[in-house]
């Protein structure tokens, strides 16, 4: 097979893969665990590996397919290299390499992104190809935007609920970042086509659509990134090499935006703004609001972790260890588990240390340098034709600035990563091709061996097949079986679910921690169920002992997994072992109120009242503002007969948690404190009249104290407020009249 034939086969393969990458944003796989994330990541890997293998053959045979040198290339290679070292030296190398189904990140993804960049800069070397590639991205963004419009109209469900659009990304923040980046890509093409009126209006219309969808995501970081990016474009244009009229127009628009921002700020408390959900989110940005405060706390935790491992950090995807070790009790009212600091600077400090952050910032610095380097020659009076005009410089810098600003409050996914890498590759090619920068390797070996093409092709296929199995097909089987296991559980097929979980562990290390947690949670449910056979229960116990227990013993710092394991142990009746687990977890995460409170409650059940109350008090002392731990301490005090102290504990907080904590209801009923039971139930129904169980319980309490008339009256009122309750209420009323009520 001659070289030309090989080139004619492989080049279209590479182009097909690259032009397919933008379409992964549309892919949602219902058969995979985390369908909005996992499928996109796996398809990206598949396309990149096929393109890389095809490119590698061409690069071996012909120097023209080899990349040119640039600061961007070296900075990306350095960043990935540092992440490799951080993975090896990190706290959990397996998790750092593979990541999990929810994020599809980790070193394996960065290696694929590096490969994607190398293929792009080696094959896409003409302006025409890049314009087609950008137009493909723009076309896809239009399709995503229309999906968002259907969500807005109610035709499609918003994955996260509420009104913030998330389209095919399943996350409003991800969609906001995607539309932000797509907006600036469209702006770049608009600049190129400005002289063509038809294309000008098309691109302008697309930008309006993208900005509208971005606005409907209500992602404040993306919205501010868009505004800031627009200011950058206008500032650079007003200072650039343009005629006076262009500069004048730029200054006018700049003044309009600044005045609009000022007017918005002055009117931020008006009903016009406060009644609009998105505008109110922008207007209510404050350093003192709950979201901002939680970010500051997490960033502080990240900084403490960085100080412990300043050079190479903890390794990619290991923020969960930071969250556990440096947990701050002030985060009690946030999500229970964070795996990101929600700030790209701190994420890189934790993942790769100071060296990692420096390498990441160097990527931006090298890109900015290549965009602006011609201006420095201009100042030196050198007569050159710049690679980018001022408009293009402004747009590219706005893309980088807006993207970076967005990531100060959220984090990347494979869609934003691939767009970012695409832009970096474009900047690299534009500069290096114009300046004819040296290739990485110029040696031409194609004529030395007539069979070299066939040898290269076979060798690459030999490497490609196991790589595809390891990084694509095997993880796909794992993700599909986790999803299948959960589906089978929902359908009551626990035996099938057990088999699916067993297969997951044999397929891939991707999401190993997540799979263990899912298995433990399901095993605990199975053990607590009366409808599951002993054979299936024993099967779950055997699988946990085989796969999960050795992992927990080998990785003793897995706080989340071990907390779920505690519940599993309690289902097995191993209370003493559960207490020992919680005591160890308390040393790993000493300020985690959840751990201390659980330990207190289990000690109470075990009869260790003194130890239980001491732990409950310790938990409250870490953050007395946490109503849940105060409620637990109050319940424990009640349980040992110290009602006056319990009231003092509950006094500083709302009694809503105590009202909705069924342990109080059960306790007072057992103590025959029916007056308090009635008071609790009436308060529950005042806030939620649709709570049919509380209506039934209230009627039964009145029946218990001998007041049949009031019991029947309660049921009549319940039927008036809940029409669907009639049949059930009538049965209860009949039982009350006949004194045939069974009270548990």
Give residue 380's pLDDT band: very low, low, confident or very high (50, 70, 90): low
Task: With a cut of 60, say whether residue 382 has pLDDT above it.
Answer: no
Give CA–CA dist 473/468, Å, rounded.
6
Which of 357, 349, 362, 359 lies closest to 314, judged by CA? 349
Q: Is 725 helix (H, G, I), strand (E, B) or coil?
A: helix
- The residue among 215 and 254 whose pLDDT is bigger is 215
Give residue 334's pLDDT band: very low, low, confident or very high (50, 70, 90): confident
Give residue 150's pLDDT band: very low, low, confident or very high (50, 70, 90): very high
Q: Which of 59-63, 149-153, 709-713 shows the highest mean pLDDT? A: 149-153
Question: What is the average pLDDT score of the chain?
Answer: 89
Please state the pTM of the whole predicted model.
0.89
Give residue 401's pLDDT band: very low, low, confident or very high (50, 70, 90): very high
Neighbouring residues of 435: CB distance < 8 A, sequence distance ≥ 6: none
What does residue 79 show for φ and ψ, rounded to 5 degrees? -60, -45
How much of the chain exceeds pLDDT 90, in percent? 59
Give residue 44's pLDDT band: very low, low, confident or very high (50, 70, 90): very high
- The residue among 28 and 434 whose pLDDT is bigger is 28
Among 46-60, 261-275, 452-466, which stretch is predicted with the lowest mean pLDDT? 261-275
Average the pLDDT over 7-29 and give the result. Answer: 96
For 515, other C-beta atoms within 10 Å of its C-beta total: 27
pLDDT number for residue 632: 86
Ordered DSSP codes for 28-89: --TTSSSTTTHHHHHHHHHHHHHHHHHHHHHHHH-GGGSPBP-HHHHHHHHHHHHHHHHHHH
Average the pLDDT over 523-542 and give the result. Answer: 93
Report the chain's C-alpha Rg in angstroms.
31
pLDDT number for residue 570: 93
Average the pLDDT over 246-256 and give the result. Answer: 76
- Give tens-digit pLDDT for 205-217: 999 999 999 999 9
Task: With a cut of 90, say whether residue 74 has pLDDT above it.
Answer: yes
Task: With a cut of 90, say whether residue 128 has pLDDT above it.
Answer: yes
pLDDT number for residue 293: 86
pLDDT number for residue 377: 60
Q: Is 439 helix (H, G, I), strand (E, B) or coil?
A: strand
The helix, strand and coil proportions of the chain, stated in percent and rounded to the nearest 5, come to 75, 0, 25
Give residue 378's pLDDT band: very low, low, confident or very high (50, 70, 90): low
Give residue 1's pLDDT band: very low, low, confident or very high (50, 70, 90): low
pLDDT number for residue 184: 96
How much of the chain exceeds pLDDT 70, in percent? 94
401, 225 in Cβ contact below 8 A? yes
Ordered DSSP codes for 89-152: HSS-HHHHHH--TTT--HHHHHHHHHHHHHHHHHH--SHHHHHHHHHHHHHHHHHHHHHHHHHH
Give residue 81's pLDDT band: very low, low, confident or very high (50, 70, 90): very high
- Give tens-digit pLDDT for 576-616: 999 999 999 999 999 999 999 999 989 988 888 899 999 99
pLDDT number for residue 404: 95
pLDDT number for residue 212: 95
Among 61-75, 149-163, 498-512, 648-662, which stretch is predicted with the lowest mean pLDDT? 648-662
Give CA–CA dist 152/269, Å, rounded.
26
Give residue 742's pLDDT band: very low, low, confident or very high (50, 70, 90): low
119, 56 in Cβ contact below 8 A? no
pLDDT number for residue 245: 67
Task: With a cut of 60, say whether residue 662 has pLDDT above it.
Answer: yes
Q: What is the 3-state secondary structure (H, E, C) of 215-262?
A: HHHCCHHHHHHHHHHHHHHHHHHHHCCCCHHHHHHHHHHHHHHHHHHH
Give CA–CA dist 694/685, Å, rounded.
7
């Amino acid at each position: 097979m001659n070289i030309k034939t090989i080139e004619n086969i492989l080049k279209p393969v590479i182009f097909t893969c690259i032009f397919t990458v933008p379409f992964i944003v549309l892919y949602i796989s219902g058969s995979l665990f985390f369908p909005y994330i996992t499928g996109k990541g796996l398809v990206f890997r598949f396309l990149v590996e096929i393109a890389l293998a095809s490119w590698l053959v061409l690069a071996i045979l012909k120097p023209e397919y080899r990349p040119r040198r640039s600061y961007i290339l070296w900075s990306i290679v350095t960043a990935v290299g540092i992440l490799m070292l951080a993975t090896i030296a990190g706290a959990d190398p397996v998790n750092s390499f593979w990541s999990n189904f929810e994020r599809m990140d980790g070193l394996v993804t960065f290696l694929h992104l590096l490969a994607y960049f190398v293929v792009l800069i080696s094959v896409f070397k003409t302006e025409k190809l890049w314009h087609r590639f950008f137009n493909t991205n723009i076309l896809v963004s239009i399709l995503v935007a229309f999906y968002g419009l259907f969500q807005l109209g109610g035709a499609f469900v918003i994955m996260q609920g509420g009104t913030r659009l998330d389209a095919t990304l399943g996350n409003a923040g991800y969609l906001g970042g995607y539309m932000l980046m797509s907006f600036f890509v469209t702006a770049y093409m608009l600049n190129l086509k400005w002289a063509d009126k038809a294309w000008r209006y098309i691109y302008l219309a697309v930008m309006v659509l993208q900005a509208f969808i971005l606005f409907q995501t209500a992602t404040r970081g993306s919205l501010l990134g868009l505004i800031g990016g627009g200011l950058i474009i206008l500032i650079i244009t007003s200072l650039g090499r343009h005629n006076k009229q262009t500069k004048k127009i730029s200054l006018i628009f700049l003044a309009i935006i600044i005045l609009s921002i000022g007017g918005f700020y002055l009117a931020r408390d008006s009903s016009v703004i406060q009644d609009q959900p998105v505008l109110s989110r922008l207007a209510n940005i404050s350093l003192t609001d709950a979201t901002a405060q939680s970010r500051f706390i997490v960033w502080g935790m990240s900084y403490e972790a960085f100080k412990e491992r300043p050079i190479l950090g903890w390794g990619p995807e290991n923020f969960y260890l930071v969250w556990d070790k440096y947990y701050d009790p002030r985060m009690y009212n946030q999500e229970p588990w964070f795996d990101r600091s929600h700030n790209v600077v701190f994420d890189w400090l934790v993942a790769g240390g100071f060296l990692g952050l420096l390498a990441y910032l160097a990527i931006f610095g090298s890109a900015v340098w290549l965009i602006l380097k011609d201006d420095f020659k201009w100042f030196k009076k050198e007569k050159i034709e710049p690679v980018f005009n001022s408009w293009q410089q402004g747009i590219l810098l706005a893309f980088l600035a807006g993207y970076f600003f967005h990531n100060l409050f959220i984090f990347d996914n494979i869609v934003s990563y691939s767009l970012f890498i695409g832009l970096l590759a474009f900047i690299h090619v534009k500069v290096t091709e114009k300046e004819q920068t040296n290739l990485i390797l110029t040696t031409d070996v194609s004529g030395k061996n007539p069979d070299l093409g066939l040898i290269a092709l076979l060798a690459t296929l030999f490497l490609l097949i196991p790589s595809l199995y390891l990084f694509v097909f095997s993880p796909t089987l794992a993700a599909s079986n986790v999803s299948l296991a959960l589906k089978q559980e929902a359908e009551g097929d626990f035996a099938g679910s057990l088999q699916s979980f067993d297969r997951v562990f044999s397929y891939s290390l991707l999401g190993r921690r997540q799979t263990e947690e899912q298995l433990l949670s399901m095993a605990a449910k199975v053990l607590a169920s009366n409808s599951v056979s002993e054979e299936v229960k024993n099967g779950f116990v055997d699988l946990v002992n085989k796969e999960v227990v050795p992992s927990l013993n080998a990785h003793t710092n897995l706080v989340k997994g071990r907390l779920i394991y505690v519940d599993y142990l309690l289902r097995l009746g191993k209370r003493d072992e559960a207490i020992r687990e919680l005591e160890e977890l308390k040393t790993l995460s000493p300020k985690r109120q959840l751990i201390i409170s659980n330990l207190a409650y289990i000690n109470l059940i075990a009869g260790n009242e003194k130890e239980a109350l001491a732990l409950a008090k310790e938990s409250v002392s870490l953050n007395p503002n946490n109503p849940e731990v105060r409620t637990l301490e109050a319940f424990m005090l009640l349980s040992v007969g110290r009602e006056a102290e319990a009231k003092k504990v509950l006094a500083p907080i709302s009694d809503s948690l105590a009202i909705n904590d069924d342990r109080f209801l059960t306790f007072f009923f057992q103590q025959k404190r029916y007056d308090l039971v009635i008071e609790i139930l009436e308060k529950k129904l005042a806030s939620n009249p649709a709570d049919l169980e509380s209506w039934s319980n209230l009627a039964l309490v009145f029946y218990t104290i001998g007041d049949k008339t009031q019991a029947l009256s309660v049921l009549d009122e319940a039927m008036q407020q809940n029409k669907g309750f009639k049949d059930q209420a009538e049965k209860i009323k009949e039982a009350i009249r006949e004194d045939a009520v069974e009270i548990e």
